[in-house]
Structure 1
Amino acid sequence: MSLAARIAGSTLFFALTFATAGTAIAQSRYNLQPPATGVASQIYDLHTLMLIICLVIFIGVFGVMFWAVFRHRKSRGAVAANFHENTTVEIAWTVVPVLILLGMAWPATQTVIEMKDTADPDITIKATGYQWKWGYDYLQGEGEGIRFVSNLSTPRAQIEGGAPKNEAYLLEVDNPLVVPVGRKVRILTTAADVIHSWWVPAFGVKQDAIPGFIRDAWFRADAEGIYRGNCAELCGRDHGFMPVEVHVVSAAAYTAWVAERQAASAASAADDTREFTLAELVERGAQVYATNCAACHQPNGQGLPPAFPALDGSPVVRGEAAGQIAVVLNGRPGTAMAAFGQLLSDADIAAAITFTRNTWSNSSGEAVQPAAIAAARGG
Structure 2
Amino acid sequence: MTQNSKLSTNTKPIPYGRQNITEDDIQAVVETLTSDFLTQGPRVAEFEQAFANYVGAKYAVAVSNGTAALHLCAMALGVNEESRVITTPITFVASANCVRYCGGSVEFADIDPNTALLDVEKVRELVESKPRGYYSGIIPVDFAGNPVNLEEFKKLADEHGLWIIEDACHAPGGYFIDSKGEKQNCGNGNYADLAIFSFHPVKHIATGEGGMVTTNDEKLYQALLKLRTHGITRDPELMEENHGGWYMEMQELGYNYRIPDMLCALGVSQLQRADAGIARRKGIAKVYDKAFADVPGIDTLTTSPEALREADTGHAYHLYIIRVQDRKGLYDFLREHSIFAQVHYIPAHTMPYYRSLGYSKGDYPAAEHYYSECLSLPMYPTLTQEEQEFVIEKVKEFVQR
Q: What interval of TM-score do these two structures reach, taking the shorter chain for normalisation?
A: under 0.3
Bigger proportion of residues as helix: 1
Q: Which has the higher contact order (CA 8 A, sep 6+)?
A: 2
